Amino acid sequence: MRMPFRLMMDLGRYMRAKKRAGEKYFPLVLMLEPLHACNLACVGCGRIVEYKDTIRDQMPLEEALGAAEEAGAPIVSICGGEPLMYKHIVPLTEGLIERKRHVQMCTNALLLERFVKRVPPSAYLSFNVHIDGMRETEIEELIKFLTNLGVDGMLVTPGYHYQVLTNDIYLKNEEMPYKFERERKLADDYKLINTPIYLDYLVGERDLLCSPWTTVTRNPQGWKGPCYLITNGHYKSFKEMHEVTDWEFYRTKKDVRCRDCKLHSGFEGTVALDFGKNLKDSWRMVRHYMS
Ligand code: SF4
């Protein structure tokens, strides 16, 4: 299996309950950024540019746990900044696991050894280690390298242009089909966890609307809206962020800042919400994740 069975079951149960309750705009993943400081300074990182004036801020523990309660999403991705530098990272992780949230620690892994000595393994805890690539841009080499390391799964996403960055190192829309055609083929033989529907989108064979409300972001400044990438403001509460955001506008990618964006969080969210609507697509998804 490409994804933890319990996570898929919990996510499915949560989505069915939300749909039964008539809710349309509900989150699947909370991106919890308890700090923006980092022990690296990667050239493509928008966070250290956007939050340079508040880079020393750290979210109080109660606020971080409260954000998970407010959003209610079954998956909490703790990111940043480098989350393992957060002073409350151990009680935060343990508190989220106690609340049966699936914690995905998004880390550069420099401090990982110290962390795993303090937090025992759990079916609710996994690690997402971000890798930009090999020295040369060789996606196939990278996938083989990670497979040999024994990773459980790999999520590939096009580099995306944060509104605050001016350097020209990101893929343009027109470059994506060529790059992702080969990756889609590799998904048959390697443990890529992207959905086949999203890969079709990257290759340019189908269109997808965006679902930015499926991945919501909370950082020391508040709830960041409208999405993980672009910032109109930071809001005091999850409810306020929802009330001021015109989700249909962003769903249809009308904002000029959406132009080159095919970020997995917005579009994989759409695929997850559409699961079951089209039998052929749903069967492809089941086969993919069970393989
Ligand atoms: S397409 Fe979606 S995820 Fe990308 S910038 Fe627009 S709203 Fe955000």
Q: Tens digit of pLDDT for each residue in 32-84? A: 999 999 999 988 788 988 999 999 999 999 999 999 999 999 999 999 999 99
| Mean of the per-residue pLDDT values of the chain | 93
Q: Is the CB of 158 under 6 A from ligand 1?
A: no
Instruction: State how beta strands 102-107 and 231-235 pair.
Output: unpaired
Centre of ligand 1 to C-alpha 229, Å, is: 7
Amino acid code (one letter) for 128: N
Residue 164 has a pLDDT of 58
What φ, ψ does residue 222 adopt, rounded to 5°? 135, -160
Centre of ligand 1 to C-alpha 64, Å, is: 24
**Is residue 224 pLDDT above 70, yes or no?**
yes
Please state which of the ranges 52-56, 59-63, 113-117, 256-260 shows the lowest mean pLDDT. Answer: 256-260
Instruction: Select from 216, 230, 248 the residue to mutate for testing ligand 1; criterion: most ligand atoms less than 8 Å from CB.
Output: 230
Q: What is the DSSP string of 108-171?
A: -STTHHHHHHHS---TTEEEEE-----SS--HHHHHHHHHHHT-S-B--------TT-----SP
Return the residue whose CA atom lies nearest to atom 7 of ligand 1.
250
pTM as predicted: 0.95
Q: Assess contact for 133 and 142: CB atoms under 8 A.
A: yes
User: 160: which 2 tokens?
Assistant: 């995306």
Instruction: Select from 261, 268, 271, 273 the residue to mutate for testing ligand 1; criterion: most ligand atoms less than 8 Å from CB.
Output: 261
Higher pLDDT, 135 or 61: 61
Centre of ligand 1 to C-alpha 232, Å, is: 12
Return the residue whose CA atom lies nearest to atom 6 of ligand 1.
258
Query: How far are the Cα atoms of 86, 121, 193 from residue 267, in angstroms, in the given order?
Result: 29, 30, 14
Residue 179 has a pLDDT of 84
Cα gap 96→76, rounded to integer Å? 8
Amino acid code (one letter) for 32: L
Q: Is the CB of 257 under 6 A from ligand 1?
A: yes
Structure confidence at residue 8 as a pLDDT band (50, 70, 90): very high
Cα gap 30→159, rounded to integer Å? 20
Angle between helices 5-20 and 264-274 (to 10 degrees): 70
Centre of ligand 1 to C-alpha 95, Å, is: 31
What is the atom index within ligand 1 of the atom nearest the CA of 265? Answer: 3
Give the Cβ contact number of residue 284 at 10 Å.
15
Task: Please measure the distance between the N-terminal and C-terminal CA atoms of the chain and give it in whole angstroms.
Answer: 6
Q: Assess contact for 10 and 126: CB atoms under 8 A.
A: no
Centre of ligand 1 to C-alpha 225, Å, is: 11
- What does R_g of the chain's alpha carbons equal in angstroms? 18
Cα gap 170→175, rounded to integer Å? 10
Residue 168 has a pLDDT of 67
Whether residue 74 has a cis bond before it, omega within 30° of 0? no
Average pLDDT over residues 203-218: 97
Return the residue whose CA atom lies nearest to atom 3 of ligand 1.
266
Return the residue whose CA atom lies nearest to atom 5 of ligand 1.
258
Residue 137 has a pLDDT of 77
HSE, CB side, 13 Å, CA atoms: give it for residue 116. 12
Centre of ligand 1 to C-alpha 18, Å, is: 23
Structure confidence at residue 210 as a pLDDT band (50, 70, 90): very high
